[in-house]
Amino acid sequence: MVFASKMPSLRIDQSDLKCKNGCNFFGNPQWQGYCSKCHREQLQRQRWAEKGLTATLPKPVQKKMERSLKLSSHSSFSKFEEKRLRQSETLKNKTNLLKFSVFSKSKSSEIQDQTPERKPPEFKVPATVYEMMKKDWAENFSNLPVQVDRECRVFVHRFIWDVINSSYVMNVDELSERVQRYYQQFIKYTDNSPHLVSAEPELKERLIDFVEKHAMTYLHDLPGVVFSPHGTEDERLDRAMSERIQQLSWVGEKHLECKLDHSNECSQLLYKAISELLAMDGAPFGGGKLAHVRRACLHVLELCGAPASADDLLPKLIFTVLKANPPRLVSNINFVTRFCNAQRLMTGEAGYYFTNLCCAVSFIENLTAESLSMDKKEFDCYMAMPASIGGSTWAAALSLCGAVKEAEEQRQHAEKLMEEIKKLQDDAEQLANNAETFEKEIAKKVQDVLAKTPLEIKPRRELPRLRVLRNSTGPLIDLETSKTVPEEDKQKIPQINIPDKPQDKIDLQFETLNTRTENILSFDMDKSPPKSPQNQPWESKQTGSFELLTPSPISFPLFDSRSIDERMDELMTPEEFGPDNLSLGLSNINYDIDLSDLSGDNSYAEDTPKEPKDPFSPDGIKKEPLFDPFAPQTSNYAILEKFDEFTLVDTKNKDASDSFEVVHRTNDFQTNAERSDPFGPVQAEATSILDENNSPSGACLLPSPLLPQSSKKT
Amino acid sequence: MSRCDFKIVLLGSEHVGKTSLVLRFVNCRFNSGTPYQNTIGAAFCAKTMHSNGKDLNIGIWDTAGSERYEAMTRMYYRGAHAAIICYDPCCASSWARLRHWLAELRTVEEDCKVYLCGTKKDLLDTNSTREVPEDIIATYSQGLNGHYLTSSKTGENVEELFQKIVDDCVADRDLMQKVEESRVQLAKEQEKDKSYCLC
């Protein structure tokens, strides 16, 4: 524009023909007064700016960065570096744009050109400012009258409007004065407002801060108004400062005569102070920046140890600033000194620390060999050195610090996880304990029930049925039964009862099953000796039946256990789980036992009495659902173990007992082969038996023993 | 207590006893076991004092005494209501530097009240020899607001010094306030004119 406007003038200065970028080539109006190369570069930059920067303007990005820094503190030193780089990039960009922009030509034209362009015809403070204010108000001043809230907002609006307008016509110092006057005005208001008569001075201060915060938060983000305003050299000074600090990276603690130990704690504190200093740039208003400075200084004070005086604070703060190299340091300091409430700045703690920071910065600016009390030649030598070489051990220590912090966070996270795992483990243990106690309780109950029930059952069964059966059966059997039954029955009956009335006790816990198996064993053992004497006479008469009888007591537990196990496995569904399956498995036992009694008649006789005892079954049915969950698994294992042992023992026993009879062995082997080798068929047989047994629960018991016998015979 | 009514700056060369003086005043104690360095954060101290029936917050700014930071001390006493320049009567060099601050304060901060404070009185009373002659001190303190010989160890004169400062400041402020009010009023009128101009 300037170029175009100057075209018509008669005398064209050669400098006006040259590239605006100042690179001695000639420019062209088609290229906006740049040479071709600069024009292309500028176009590229603009495109880049449109892509990258308009979407995320430098300020919000930084703010977000800061926020993430503060909140998650996931930051590492490398991030600082990154941010610094980005910042300097944006700065360069800005200054480049400024250089290219029309206003940089002359100061007088700047104001005239600027005003129409930058000043929107009707300025409106965005609603977000008021929304933020309302929100903040509700959080902090909800107890104050509404009028104050409204007046505050009106004041902020007037404040912002006026500052923006005056920024076009005033230089920075005038603007700063104007802003200060606004602050004073508001302080007066808080003193005189009828709504705030009774308010405490502290509340008034907060109110003043509130107004300052919201007005400045908005103004801060407007480019060139209050933060590094146009017409000042703040940006250039920022870069100069940043470069200088980089150049001085070789300055260590010994130069500044501040004692710092390289302990982990020390570097942690330094790290914190640095992060606070870096965060200062992100705070959008003076109070926030001051708060960051204050916190940074407090960290530094902590670094000094207990007796921190100004003599300790200042050198260490200088050192911290040197290591931090905060972005836009000069701009920030100027912003605070110009537009922060002066009353707060002059007095008070934050003001003191801010002054210290200013001192540190001015010390760095004017740093000479003398101020470091070192030889001038040495100093020059250091300064001539490229900045990248001069890094002290602190740079490494601090970057480590970032890693340490991250590692600590990770560790904390891991600890949390460990705690969770522990909790889970505890819960699991508790659950296991509960289950155990539950098991035990139930086992106790079951035992109690067992202890009670046999007493009741015995008399009922034996008396009527046995007599009837005895009458019906032959004399030989009578003798045997009379010998064996009284002994065995006492033991058996509970067992027999259990299988016969599976509904009652089958679902009882494995312990009870164990006891049963033990009983069965003992029962077998008891039986085997009586059998052998019994068998001898029987052999001649009833070989076939005897074959069937002998194996059953010994080998049947094996078969039975497996059948039970397998059934358990197969029939894991709760419905099937119930009494029927178990009853079947156990019913097999029954009938074996019956067989072992040597007389099918007797066994029937024993079985039959159990049928009518069905009246007990309902009780059992009621108990079943309770016992189901635990019984199957535990019983399985227990039975398996026990039966394996038993089978071994049994086979030995068999061998011992078989010595009497040749027939036995063959049959045993056959039966064993039949039963043990192919489990499937056995199961099938069993199931077939089951099926038959299933439908008529009690009545089937009588025919059931016959069926397998017949099948085995064939 | 973020805001203070008065800002008092402590000046003085290194090892003169500035920090001890502040700590003695703020915490009412002195730790001779670990002299010079004993409590947390003595760089800035705030204390509430009473004067003329009012509660007043005073902020005491400690400064770095080292000579290399001399150029920066100006920043510290900007806007200060009062300055205490400390010297050690047993150390001639501390007196020599005092004159520098005196001169600067007079030119830069005219409103600032200046108080001289000779520290380590307890040492002076016992055995140490005085290096700064009393008559010179007397001549210097004539144009100033006051001169005290204090001992941070015994607490002698410490309270009195600060009380005097606060009393002076309060008396001065009351006077200043009247002037201020009239000035603000003038400024307001000017402002109004300006805003009209803008429209």
Q: Edge-to-edge strand order for the sheet containing B6-11?
A: B44-51, B54-62, B6-11, B82-87, B113-118, B146-149
| A165/B198 touch (CB, cutoff 8 Å), yes or no | yes
pLDDT surpassing 70 at residue A19: yes
Cα gap A599→A587, rounded to integer Å: 17
pLDDT surpassing 50 at residue A367: yes
Query: How much is the average pLDDT of A213-232?
Result: 83
pLDDT surpassing 80 at residue A361: yes
Torsion of the alpha carbons at A156, A160, A162 and A166, rounded to the nearest 10: 150
* Amino acid A384: pLDDT: 82
- Measured between CA atoms, the residue of chain A closest to residue B11 is A310
- Measured between CA atoms, the residue of chain A closest to residue B195 is A162
| C-beta of residue A582 within 8 angstroms of C-beta of residue A702 | no
Cα gap A613→A604, rounded to integer Å: 15
Helix A264-280 with A286-304: angle, nearest 10 deg: 170
* Amino acid A415: pLDDT: 96
Instruction: For residue B7, give the nearest of A165, A346, A371 by CB distance.
Output: A346
Which range, A92-101, A213-222, A528-537, is most confident? A213-222
Band of the pLDDT at A444, cuts 50, 70, 90? very high
Q: A532, A699, A678, A490: which is closest to A604 by C-alpha?
A: A699
Gap from B20 CA to chain A (nearest CA, Å): 9
Which residues of chain A does B44 touch, with a Cβ-Cβ cutoff of 8 Å? 349, 352-353
pLDDT surpassing 80 at residue A629: no
* Amino acid A605: pLDDT: 44
* Amino acid B30: pLDDT: 55
pLDDT surpassing 60 at residue B55: yes
Band of the pLDDT at A431, cuts 50, 70, 90? very high
Residue recorded with tokens 């069937």: A548
**Residue type for position A381:** C
Give the mutation candidate from A349, A354, A368, A371 for the B interface (greatest B CB count, under 10 A): A349
**pLDDT digit string, tens, across residues A247-281:** 888 887 777 777 777 777 788 888 888 889 988 88
* DSSP state for residue B9 in the 8-state scheme: E
Return the structure tokens found at A362. 């001015």
**pLDDT digit string, tens, across residues A149-207:** 888 888 888 888 888 888 888 888 888 888 888 888 888 888 888 887 777 878 888 88
| B42/A363 touch (CB, cutoff 8 Å), yes or no | no
- Paired residues of B114 in beta bridges: B83
Q: Where is average pLDDT lowest: A231-240, A551-560, B128-137?
A: A551-560
| C-beta of residue A530 within 8 angstroms of C-beta of residue A484 | yes
| C-beta of residue A563 within 8 angstroms of C-beta of residue A509 | no
* Amino acid A437: pLDDT: 94
Band of the pLDDT at A430, cuts 50, 70, 90? very high
Which residues of chain A does B78 touch, with a Cβ-Cβ cutoff of 8 Å? 346, 355
Cα gap B169→B176, rounded to integer Å: 10
Helix (H) / strand (E) element for B113: namely strand B113-118
Give the mutation candidate from B44, B119, B182, B195 for the A interface (greatest A CB count, under 10 A): B44
| B3/A347 touch (CB, cutoff 8 Å), yes or no | yes
- Measured between CA atoms, the residue of chain B closest to residue A298 is B41
SS3 A28: strand
**Residue type for position A436:** E
ipTM comes to: 0.83
Band of the pLDDT at A390, cuts 50, 70, 90? low
* Amino acid A42: pLDDT: 77
Which range, A16-25, A600-609, A611-620, is most confident? A16-25
Count of C-beta atoms within a 10 Å radius of residue B26: 15
Higher pLDDT: A49 or A351? It is: A351
The phi and psi torsions of A712 (rounded to 5 degrees) equal: -70, -35
Gap from B142 CA to chain A (nearest CA, Å): 28
pLDDT surpassing 50 at residue A393: yes
* Amino acid A443: pLDDT: 92
Helix (H) / strand (E) element for A591: namely helix A579-596
Rounded mean pLDDT of chain A? 65
* Amino acid A192: pLDDT: 83
Band of the pLDDT at A86, cuts 50, 70, 90? low
Q: Tell me the count of A-B CB pairs closer than 8 A.
A: 113
pLDDT surpassing 90 at residue A441: yes
Return the structure tokens found at A195. 């709504």
Instruction: For residue B44, give the nearest of A181, A305, A349 by CB distance.
Output: A349
- Angle among Cα A415, A416, A421 to the nearest 5 degrees reads 95
Return the structure tokens found at A39. 């024009």
- DSSP for A62-114 reads HHHHHHHHHHT----HHHHHHHHHHHHHHHHHHHHHHHHSGGGS-HHHHHHHH
Cα gap A503→A570, rounded to integer Å: 19
Share of chain A above pLDDT 90, in %: 6
Rounded mean pLDDT of chain B? 79
Q: A107, A67, A334, A299: which is closest to A226 by C-alpha?
A: A334
Helix (H) / strand (E) element for B11: namely strand B6-11
Give the mutation candidate from B1, B2, B119 for the A interface (greatest A CB count, under 10 A): B2
**pLDDT digit string, tens, across residues A22-77:** 777 777 777 777 777 777 777 777 776 665 544 443 443 343 444 444 444 444 44
Instruction: For residue B42, give the nearest of A205, A308, A355 by CB distance.
Output: A308
Chain B residues touching chain A at CB-CB below 8 Å: 1-7, 14, 18-19, 34, 36-44, 46, 59, 61-66, 68-69, 71-72, 75-76, 78-79, 184, 187-188, 191, 195, 198
Q: Output Rg (C-alpha) for chain A, integer angstroms.
A: 50
| C-beta of residue A332 within 8 angstroms of C-beta of residue B61 | no
Residue recorded with tokens 């007005």: A215
| A307/B42 touch (CB, cutoff 8 Å), yes or no | yes
* Amino acid A433: pLDDT: 95
**Residue type for position A564:** I
SS3 B5: coil
Gap from A174 CA to chain B (nearest CA, Å): 12
Residue recorded with tokens 């005038």: A174
Instruction: For residue A301, give the nearest of B43, B72, B184 by CB distance.
Output: B43
Share of chain B above pLDDT 70, in %: 80
Q: Is A98 exposed, middle or buried (0-12, 13-18, 19+ CB in 10 A)?
A: middle
SS3 B49: strand
Cβ neighbours of residue B79 under 8 Å, at least 6 residues apart? A346, A347, B7, B109
- DSSP for A144-180 reads S-HHHHHHHHHHHHHHHHHHHHHHHHS-HHHHHHHHH
Return the structure tokens found at A333. 């300091």
Cα gap A196→A200, rounded to integer Å: 8
pLDDT surpassing 80 at residue A656: no
Chain A residues touching chain B at CB-CB below 8 Å: 162, 165-166, 169, 181, 184-185, 188, 205, 297-298, 301, 305-315, 343-344, 346-353, 355-356, 358-359, 362-363, 366, 370-371, 373
**pLDDT digit string, tens, across residues B70-101:** 888 888 888 888 899 998 888 888 888 888 88
Question: What is the pTM assigned to this prediction?
Answer: 0.54
Residue A161: alpha-carbon gap to chain centroid: 49
Higher pLDDT: A139 or A75? It is: A139
**Residue type for position A603:** S
Instruction: For residue A314, give the nearest of B7, B39, B64 by CB distance.
Output: B64
